[in-house]
């Protein structure tokens, strides 16, 4: 029996009485690399924010390693959408990543220890952003900024990484670069990515869930044509995005394919 | 002017209050321009006029009335903003005008000759009293201590509220606290520039500082230096030519901003 790190039961979220998430059931195992795909407005961001305790669900239960959200989310590293950011904010790369070291434990007149700084520089080296450490974040490319945000999340030494559209508005090269980084991180850390970027599914993720109000998920990489039809309402769009047939076909029992 | 400063208490007070105003403007001003809270701060400032009127009406020091109104309105604005979906702009607009209306109403209730409100509206740094200085000093110490003692946490909160919340920072606390600090800052500034001109002193020094640096801490320090330089030179000019101090300081700093922004290429004439 695999150890589950996130367990969601019977989750419902409404916004002004309109259902955003309906009867969500989801179990994520340790070191899983899960993609949550679905159209814009399908509730991907909402689901991530519920897991992080940023949105209060109307009903249902979320457990992170058996803990309630308030305790459990300390184990999560969060990588929000780049587009939510004020890129003009006067702050440099190193200071952003150091923020991952902040928690509820620090008191008055806190300053980062040499240990914090060494740790963060190690992360920057791994993510290949050490060269820009003094650069203001508005002067980075999309892919660089995305790596900075991943670095900030990793600085908190999380067991689970939640990423919201990490490859939106990136070119193909930076996109595969980000997925390669995530794949490496996945050796240690459970990763959940919300994305509408269907092209990466087959090669990097080991499981896929489809979300459009309802969640279609069978614990592996297989999505039935039926699920896709229900979620997107248009299978042609999938083909247009260049998804390989393997995703839709029979490919069971292949979770540890790497 | 140096001899005059040594000789006259009112000039010393003007000097102290200009310096203290620069310090809080540098700190809180930098925060509010990064957090897009400029209009919010203007709203709190104008609402405090109701307190000035109340102070006159009840025959207590108007600055205490203003402090009460500023704190009260800042807490109301945060609370309503969090609990409802009313757009903050709408809310600020209503509170802004209501505060002014309350002030005018109280003053009209007063028996006899109405007091001169212009020093609260437009500021008169040359009439700052010893008591004003003491109040300002206390408020400045509170603001400086609050920000410096939790500097890393503030920075994280200001940069990314959601991430900070997930990491366990009590962002509710920081939001309320920030608005209280804005209210205290407004009170420090009332005597220097007046309610109507406060926004310029809060925004222009950090805006000038941002032309020269991309670092949060440096922005604050530069903003304090610019603020001090311009309020002192404004004070000197207003003393020299006997013109209103608040307007002089604001015009000086505003014009400087536009010239520098133009020179550094932040503002362009044409496409």
In terms of C-beta density within 10 A (0-12 exposed, 13-18 middle, 19 or more buried), how is residue A187 classed? exposed
Per the rule left: phi > 0, alpha: psi between -120 and 50, beta: everything else, A215 is beta
Distance from CA of B6 to the nearest CA of A (A): 37
**Rounded mean pLDDT of chain A?**
84
% of chain A residues with pLDDT over 70: 82
Chain-chain contact of A80 with B163 (C-beta, under 8 angstroms): yes
- Please give the Cα distance from A61 to A84 (Å, whole number): 27
pLDDT tier at B193, thresholds 50, 70, 90 = confident
| Number of Cβ atoms within 10 Å of the Cβ of A89 | 18
- List, for residues A104-140, the tens digit of each pLDDT value: 888 898 999 999 999 999 999 999 999 999 999 999 9
Q: Evaluate if residue A86 carries a pLDDT over 90.
A: no
From the list B164, B170, B213, which residue is nearest A90 (CB)? B213
Q: Which two tokens stand for residue A199?
A: 């092209």
Chain-chain contact of B155 with A90 (C-beta, under 8 angstroms): no
- The full set of domains in chain A, from first to last, is 4-248 (3.40.50.300)
Residues in chain A with CB shorter than 8 Å from the CB of B156 are 99, 102
From the list A49, A85, A89, which residue is nearest B34 (CB)? A89
How is the beta sheet containing A160-164 ordered, strand by strand?
A76-79, A160-164, A190-195, A33-37, A207-212, A214-216
- What one-character DSSP code corresponds to residue A194? E
Q: Is A106 on the interface with B (CB under 8 A)?
A: yes
- Please give the Cα distance from B180 to B37 (Å, whole number): 13
From the list B148, B156, B216, which residue is nearest A90 (CB)? B216
- List, for residues B96-137, the tens digit of each pLDDT value: 999 999 999 999 998 887 788 888 898 888 888 999 999 999
By the 8 A CB rule, do B52 and B115 touch?
no
How is the beta sheet containing A4-15 ordered, strand by strand?
A18-29, A4-15, A59-64
3-state secondary structure of A137: helix
Q: Is A55 on the interface with B (CB under 8 A)?
A: no
Distance from CA of A200 to the nearest CA of B (A): 26
By the 8 A CB rule, do B200 and B248 touch?
no
Residues in chain B with CB shorter than 8 Å from the CB of A108 are 149-150
Residues in chain A with CB shorter than 8 Å from the CB of B153 are 102, 106, 110
- Which of residues 124 through 143 in chain A touch B, CB cutoff 8 A? 136, 138-139
The pLDDT score that the predictor gives to residue B71 is 96
pTM of the model: 0.89
| Number of Cβ atoms within 10 Å of the Cβ of A121 | 15
- Please give the Cα distance from A133 to A131 (Å, whole number): 6
pLDDT tier at A255, thresholds 50, 70, 90 = very low
- Please give the Cα distance from A124 to A178 (Å, whole number): 14
3-state secondary structure of A34: strand
Distance from CA of B150 to the nearest CA of A (A): 5
Q: How far is CA A56 from CA A12, A13, A59, A169, in A?
A: 10, 8, 9, 29
- List, for residues B215-242, the tens digit of each pLDDT value: 999 999 999 999 999 999 998 998 899 9
The pLDDT score that the predictor gives to residue A240 is 34
By the 8 A CB rule, do B182 and B108 touch?
no
The pLDDT score that the predictor gives to residue A38 is 86
Q: Within 13 A of A236's CA, how many CA atoms are on the CB side?
A: 0
Q: How far is CA A238 from CA A120, A123, A175, A201, A231, in A?
A: 39, 36, 18, 11, 11
| Number of Cβ atoms within 10 Å of the Cβ of A238 | 20
Chain-chain contact of B214 with A92 (C-beta, under 8 angstroms): yes
Q: Is A152 on the interface with B (CB under 8 A)?
A: yes
- List, for residues B50-61, the tens digit of each pLDDT value: 999 999 999 999
Interface test with B, best of A45, A54, A91 (most B CBs within 10 A): A91
The pLDDT score that the predictor gives to residue A205 is 86
Can you say whether the dihedral through the CA atoms of A132, A135, A141, A146 is positive or negative?
A: positive
- List, for residues A180-207, the tens digit of each pLDDT value: 999 999 999 999 999 887 776 767 888 8
Q: Which of A154-168, A224-238, B50-64, B176-190 has the lowest mean pLDDT?
A: A224-238
The pLDDT score that the predictor gives to residue A41 is 84
Chain-chain contact of B216 with A91 (C-beta, under 8 angstroms): yes
Per CB distance under 8 Å, which residues of B are interface residues toward A?
34, 148-153, 155-156, 158-160, 162-170, 210, 213-216, 218-219
By the 8 A CB rule, do B178 and B228 touch?
no
Q: Where are the alpha helices (DSSP H) in chain B?
A: 2-7, 9-34, 38-58, 62-83, 88-109, 118-122, 130-149, 151-159, 161-166, 171-193, 198-210, 216-241, 245-263
Indicate if ipTM > 0.95: no
**Rounded mean pLDDT of chain B?**
91
- Please give the Cα distance from A166 to A199 (Å, whole number): 13
Q: Where are the alpha helices (DSSP H) in chain A?
A: 44-51, 69-72, 93-98, 114-126, 142-155, 172-185, 201-204, 225-232, 235-240, 245-248
Q: Which two tokens stand for residue A68?
A: 């309630």
Chain-chain contact of A89 with B216 (C-beta, under 8 angstroms): yes
Q: Is A161 on the interface with B (CB under 8 A)?
A: no
Q: Evaluate if residue B85 carries a pLDDT over 80.
A: no
Q: What is the CATH number of domain B2-263?
A: 1.10.3470.10
Q: Evaluate if residue B79 carries a pLDDT over 60.
A: yes
Q: Is A80 on the interface with B (CB under 8 A)?
A: yes
- List, for residues A209-254, the tens digit of each pLDDT value: 889 888 888 666 666 666 666 666 543 334 333 344 344 443 344 4
The pLDDT score that the predictor gives to residue A40 is 84
Q: Evaluate if residue B25 carries a pLDDT over 70.
A: yes
| Number of Cβ atoms within 10 Å of the Cβ of B35 | 19
Burial A37-46 (b: 16+ CB within 10 A, else e): bbbeebbbbb
Chain-chain contact of A102 with B164 (C-beta, under 8 angstroms): yes
Q: Which two tokens stand for residue A124?
A: 């920057």
From the list B153, B163, B210, which residue is nearest A90 (CB)? B210
- Please give the Cα distance from B267 to B260 (Å, whole number): 9
Distance from CA of B25 to the nearest CA of A (A): 17
CA-based nearest residue to A205, from A28, A49, A4, A14: A28
């Amino acid at each position: 029996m695999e150890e589950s790190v996130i367990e969601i039961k019977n989750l419902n979220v409404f916004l002004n009485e309109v259902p955003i998430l309906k009867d969500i059931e989801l179990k994520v195992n340790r070191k899983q690399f899960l993609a949550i795909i679905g159209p814009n407005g399908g509730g991907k961001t909402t689901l991530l924010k519920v897991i992080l305790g940023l949105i209060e669900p109307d009903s249902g239960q979320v457990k992170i390693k058996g803990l309630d959200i308030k305790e459990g989310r300390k184990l999560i590293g969060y990588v929000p959408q780049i587009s939510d950011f004020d890129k003009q904010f006067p702050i440099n790369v190193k200071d952003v990543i150091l923020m991952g070291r902040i928690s509820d434990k620090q008191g008055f007149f806190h300053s980062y220890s040499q240990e914090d700084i060494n740790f963060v520089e190690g992360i920057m080296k791994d993510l290949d952003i050490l060269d820009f450490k003094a650069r203001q974040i508005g002067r980075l490319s999309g892919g660089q900024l995305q790596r900075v945000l991943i670095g900030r999340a990793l600085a908190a030494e999380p067991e689970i990484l939640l990423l919201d559209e990490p490859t939106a508005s990136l070119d193909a090269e930076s996109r595969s670069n980000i997925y390669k980084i995530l794949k490496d991180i996945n050796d240690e850390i459970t990763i959940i990515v919300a994305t509408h970027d269907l092209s990466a599914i087959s090669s990097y993720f080991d499981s896929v869930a489809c979300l459009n109000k309802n969640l279609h998920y069978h614990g592996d990489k297989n999505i039935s044509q039926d699920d896709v039809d229900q979620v997107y309402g248009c299978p042609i769009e999938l083909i247009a995005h260049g998804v390989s047939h393997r995703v839709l076909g029979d490919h069971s029992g292949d979770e540890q394919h790497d | 002017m140096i001899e005059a400063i040594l000789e006259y208490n009112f000039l010393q007070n003007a000097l102290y209050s200009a310096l203290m105003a620069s310090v809080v403007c540098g700190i809180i001003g930098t925060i509010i321009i990064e957090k897009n809270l400029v209009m919010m701060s203007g709203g709190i400032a104008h609402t405090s006029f109701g307190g000035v009127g109340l102070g006159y009406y009840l025959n207590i020091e108007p600055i205490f009335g203003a402090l009460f109104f500023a704190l009260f309105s800042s807490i109301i604005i945060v609370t309503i903003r969090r609990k409802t979906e009313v757009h903050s702009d709408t809310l600020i607009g209503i509170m802004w005008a209501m505060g002014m209306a309350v002030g005018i109403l109280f003053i009209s209730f007063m028996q006899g000759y109405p007091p001169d409100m212009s020093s609260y509206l437009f500021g008169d740094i040359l009439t700052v009293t010893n008591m004003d200085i003491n109040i300002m000093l206390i408020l400045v110490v509170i603001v400086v201590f609050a920000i410096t003692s939790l500097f890393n946490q503030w920075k994280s909160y200001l940069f990314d509220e959601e991430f900070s919340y997930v990491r366990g920072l009590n962002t509710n606390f920081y939001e309320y606290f920030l608005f209280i600090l804005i209210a205290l800052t407004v009170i420090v500034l009332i005597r220097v520039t007046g309610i109507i001109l406060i926004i310029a002193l809060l925004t222009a020094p950090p805006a000038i500082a941002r032309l020269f640096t991309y670092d949060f801490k440096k922005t604050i320090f530069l903003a304090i230096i610019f603020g001090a330089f311009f309020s002192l030179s404004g004070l000197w000019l207003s003393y020299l030519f006997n013109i209103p101090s608040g307007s002089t300081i604001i015009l000086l700093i505003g014009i400087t901003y536009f010239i520098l922004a133009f020179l550094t290429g932040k503002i362009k004439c044409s496409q």
